[in-house]
Chains A and B, each alone.
Chain A
Amino acid sequence: MLGAGVAGAPSGGWRTATVAGVRRSVPRSVQLRLDVADRVDHLPGQHYVVRLTAPDGYTAQRSYSIASAPGDPLVELFVERLDDGEVSTHLADVVEPGDELEVRGPIGGWFVWDGATPALLVAGGSGVVPFVSMLRTARALGRTDLLRIAVSVRELELLPYADELWAAGALVATTREPSGIRPAGRLSAADLVPLWEPGQTAFVCGSAAFAGAATRLLETLGIPAAAIRVEQFGPSGGAT
């Protein structure tokens, strides 16, 4: 059964963030390093909302996962640029260091790692971002032993935070090209079996299609539905 999230997970209201850094290390995406005034520290897995305002008062807002650890003096958001995205195109193409952005966060108390529970983290594409926050938190705590990470991307070039993920021993499945000795193909039970241990909480993050497939895979491995937490984003991917 779906349990409670982290009781009393931190949440913050609207703040002004100053863009301290803009990095474009992966095609069609941007990493924004934000200096958030009067910031409420987050838990790894929480997200922020970014709101853009036009001169006539029109606003558009979207949610983005946090990649940074709570101890980072800046908040790092990873934004995937969608060609028809009203907010993501602005963040990826227009924003420069020194710009001010309205942000709200942290938000959410369910898709959150407590820093103490063994966890299996399964991501599709940019769904890996909250897991980067968890990994950075684990490093700060000296508890990277608690995390097992599997991530699926089309091509290695599209994997955000690749160096950190490789260093953490993440399993990287590539669907359109081989990854090391692993042939091209979707995440399979054979990929996940070595990562699974009793007592883990499983976190799944990705598109609806990816999350559906990955949770079914985890259930076939015998992981109880109650131990699986899901975060989905983006369009339905053809599901009706």
Chain B
Amino acid sequence: MPTPTRGFLGRRRERDPRLPPGQYDVGADWPVLAAEPTPRIAPETWSITVDGRVENPTTWSWDEAHRLPPSEYRGDIHCVTTWSKFDTRFTGISVDSLLEVARPTAEAQFVMATSKTGYTTNLSLADVTGGKAWLVWEFDGRPLTPEHGGPVRLLVPHLYFWKSAKWISKLSLLARDQPGFWEQNGYHDRGDPWRQQRYQGD
């Protein structure tokens, strides 16, 4: 255990068990963080492409994506800047239903998620399959705003939120892991909040 900081007791003595280490409950707020200007993307011009190591590279328009089986996430989200937000509700589709159509090949082990802005983030295929990842267009029953990644963002709530790429446009399946935007800039390749995988080397 690190040496205690002189005079520091910490405020929140009752830790909510849903809070990963080093995180605090942000309450009703939802901070906005991005490295680039917020793009304004009309739903009718949005699309999602799944390509790379797949048997059937496919692009879905807004309407086509909405015809896939709806899927919802209810639970918590965790940002590497140390806020966590409890009891969120996002609506969209499961990444599984995209991969079911695109069919990853045997070599596919990783995914690079790319946004309309060029933002990228890398994930293992295991982290986006089996009901663990979504493409979402509603938050708490309302359309996702551009600041929060609307019209559609990736949602991978069991990892730090920079993995949940805003303005998602492409999922490329890869045989080998490659660092995405923040991962090239010092952040962890996996980003598990329960292991505090914040920065490279954690």
Residues on A close to B: CB < 8 A?
Answer: 1-5, 7, 9, 11, 13, 51-55, 57-63, 86, 90, 94-95, 99-102, 104, 107-111, 208, 212, 215-216, 218-219, 225-226, 228-236, 239-240
Question: How many interface contacts (CB-CB < 8 Å) are there between A and B?
Answer: 136
Which of B6, B9, B21 meets A99, CB within 8 Å? B6
A228 and B37 in contact, given A54-B8, A110-B185, A208-B31 (Cβ under 8 angstroms): yes
Which of B35, B81, B120, B186 meets A9, CB within 8 Å? B186
Which of B4, B21, B35 meets A54, CB within 8 Å? B4
Interface of B is mostly: loop
A236 and B8 in contact, given A59-B21, A107-B199 (Cβ under 8 angstroms): no
Chain B residues positioned under 8 Å from A233 (CB to CB): 81
Chain A residues positioned under 8 Å from B34 (CB to CB): 230, 232
Chain B residues positioned under 8 Å from A2 (CB to CB): 35-36, 115, 117-120, 181
Count contacts on B: residues with CB < 8 A to the other chain.
48
Give complex CA distance A225, B26 in Å: 30
Q: Is the CB of A55 within 8 A of B9?
A: yes
Residues on B close to A: CB < 8 A?
Answer: 1-13, 15, 21-22, 24, 26, 29-39, 81-82, 115, 117-120, 142, 145, 147-148, 181-182, 184-186, 199-201
Give complex CA distance A3, B102 in Å: 28
Q: Is the CB of A11 within 8 A of B199?
A: yes
Chain B residues positioned under 8 Å from A7 (CB to CB): 184
Chain A residues positioned under 8 Å from B2 (CB to CB): 51, 53, 59, 102
- Among B4, B13, B21, B186, the most chain A Cβ lie within 10 Å of the Cβ of B186
